[in-house]
Chain A
Amino acid sequence: MGSRAPRVLLVLAILAVACVLPFTVSNFRLFQFTQVYIYAIAILGLNMLTGYNGQFSLGHGAFYAMGAYVSAIMMDKWNIHYAWTIPVAGVLCLIVGFLFGLPALRLEGLYLALATFSLALAVPQILKYFEHWTGGSQGLVLSKPGAPFGIKLNPDQWLYFVTLAVMALLFWLSANLLRGRVGRAIVAIRDNHIAAEAMGVNTSLYKSLVFGVSAAYTGVAGALSASAIAYVAPDSFNIFLSITLLIGAVIGGLASISGAVFGAFFIQFVPNWAQDISKAAPWAIFGIFLIVFMYVMPFGIAGAIRLLWIRTRRSRVALTPEARDTAHSQAPRTT
């Protein structure tokens, strides 16, 4: 893809815009952007698992819920500062995800989809059951953390910057992880796990680890959302949350880091526009988009942009099959 310099510049430019944003838009709009970043983190987690490693999860809402509740319970019951709850939520989800990944290793394709789908359905019930900790169906009401050290920012602006920083860090980490040796092993497992094994990749360890890391990302996103919304309740973590995350990953573009951001924008803003028609309309539109994308843009928005980029750069040369292959080489080939 040529030299890295233009890409780094592009990322810095986007970050600069993101830093100016809080001082130009309303608090409500800003909250929506915070939510976009939170979704982006969760979707990146799911994307590492599904897009890069080729494992299904229809139940990542469960880890999102876990992160949110771990954070909320620590703040509500033990008065722990929210900043500490975020890494704790991440680590706990890492462990649980890793452990869930161990048996899930034996389950391929559809069975993994089934198991994670049932997990997502079961979560609200489990949360309601442990009423003592989770506050039952009422949920837990939290207070929005303000800016420390007398920084002159309102809570919404402060949370925006916290989320942006966490997102930048996590995106940088996963870009490095996926670019290197580990990343190649992860993709090799997706493309042909037998060949990967023959090359000396420890497939079981890698698969469980990816499951864990992916759960940790989603858990961190959940923890951030608990602070941003200042409220957690079981029914907001239903099966549709898991499907939403999957929609974000698919529409943004599987096996693409930037795709997570596109997907997050999509799932945050498209329902808002559709809400005016009917309460049920956003979901109908989601469903139609999901199916149509599978037909015409299976590599999502990020894949379409990549293809467009290659076409314009090589407009004088006819698009050879090799060029088309490079365009698709990042795309998932799950079987």
Chain B
Amino acid sequence: MEIFVQQVVSGLATGGIYAALALALVMIYQATDVVNFAQGEMAMFATYLCWTMLNAGVPYWGAFVGTLVLAFLGGVIVERVVIRPVEGAPILSIVIVTLGLLVIFNSVAGWIWSYVQKPFPSPFPSTPVKAGNIFFGSHDIGQIFVTLIVLACIWMFFKFTPLGLAMRAAAHNPVSSRLVGIRVGWMLAMGWGLAAVFGAVAGMMVAPVLTLEPNMMGGVQIYAFAGATLGGFTSPGGAVLGGFIVGVVENLVGTYVSFIGTELKFTVALGMIIVVLLVKPTGLFGTRIVKRV
């Protein structure tokens, strides 16, 4: 029972990472109908920026905030420069462009910082937290809190600020939004910026566990895909929940199904994606998109 609780908690911790990245994917998907295959690599790149700042002697939370700002700007620039020219192009073209981004971020990171694994500090103490007679890793607990805080902030931003409302409107109905004076193009760019911020949070939280290297986010991204698919690509809340569920399932399966262990991690995610797509392609909370032909 203790092992079970421990595994669920650490599943929630990794699930939070998946949830943040899944939310980033879903936000971009809702606003522009694009699945950004480079989301994980952008997060990895932001984490390297944080690492560079930490090495230059910036205190952790300063570097954390600095990275979020840089990630936001980076996301906006990527949308303006790279994605905008293919706006309205066939899906294949857009997917190929995001794959191009994936490759560029990955190789440039390898170029600048090399492929050697780098340790990344955790902002939380290394002593475990004790609740009753069960021990939890401090980083796990801290990670869950950070994710929840970020999610709460973003929820309030979209719910209670005029800018958030404008962004939702731009994603929901671009034509009408333009008519009432919302600058839809910039709203989409800001959506990319915010998505990059979630990615950066996920990257900085997962780096102490996985150690920093250019291919670090591959596994995280496939689980984020699984989470977003499970929750539904049309539902941000669903994607967050999906991310948490996927994290817990991954951990429990790894612990209790002996022949899988950690060696078939990706295969488990692949299985989850395929099962969800076969059984309920819209995901748990998604709505079916009906198109007129």
Which residues from chain A sit less than 8 Å from chain B, CB to CB?
50, 54, 56, 58, 103, 106-107, 109-111, 113-115, 117-119, 121-122, 125-126, 128-129, 194, 239-240, 243, 246, 250, 254, 278-284, 286-288, 290-291, 294-295, 298, 332-335
Contacts and interface: CB of A to CB of B under 8 A. Distances in A.
How many of chain B's residues touch chain A, expressed as a range?
35 or more
B120 interface: no
Nearest to A103: B278
Given A118-B269, A119-B270, A279-B110, 20 more contacts: A50-B92, A58-B99, A107-B277, A110-B29, A113-B95, A115-B273, A115-B277, A117-B37, A118-B266, A121-B219, A122-B222, A122-B269, A125-B265, A278-B111, A279-B111, A280-B108, A283-B110, A288-B104, A294-B93, A298-B89
B96 A334 contact: no
Contacts of B266: 118, 121-122, 125
Given A106-B277, A294-B93, A284 B86 contact: no
A113 B278 contact: no
B277 A291 contact: no
The main secondary structure of chain A at its interface with chain B is helix
19 contacts: A58-B99, A110-B29, A113-B35, A113-B37, A117-B37, A117-B222, A117-B225, A118-B222, A118-B270, A121-B266, A122-B222, A125-B263, A240-B103, A250-B96, A286-B103, A290-B99, A291-B101, A332-B90, A334-B90
B97 A118 contact: no
B57 interface: no
Interface of B: 29, 35, 37, 82, 85-86, 89-93, 95-97, 99-104, 106-108, 110-111, 218-219, 222, 225-226, 229, 233, 263-267, 269-270, 273-274, 277-278, 281, 293
Given A111-B277, A278-B111, A280-B111, A294 B37 contact: no
A255 B225 CA distance: 29
Q: Which 9 A-B pairs have the closest CB atoms?
A: A283-B107, A287-B104, A290-B100, A287-B103, A280-B111, A280-B110, A122-B266, A280-B107, A291-B100
Query: Which interface residue of B99, B233, B264 has the most chain A CB atoms within 10 A?
Result: B99
A334 B100 contact: no
Contacts of A56: 92, 95
A141 B79 CA distance: 46
B111 A291 contact: no
A332 B263 contact: no
A196 B277 CA distance: 25
Nearest to A278: B111
A106 B82 contact: no
B267 to A, nearest CB: 5
Contacts of B37: 58, 113, 117
A239 B110 CA distance: 16
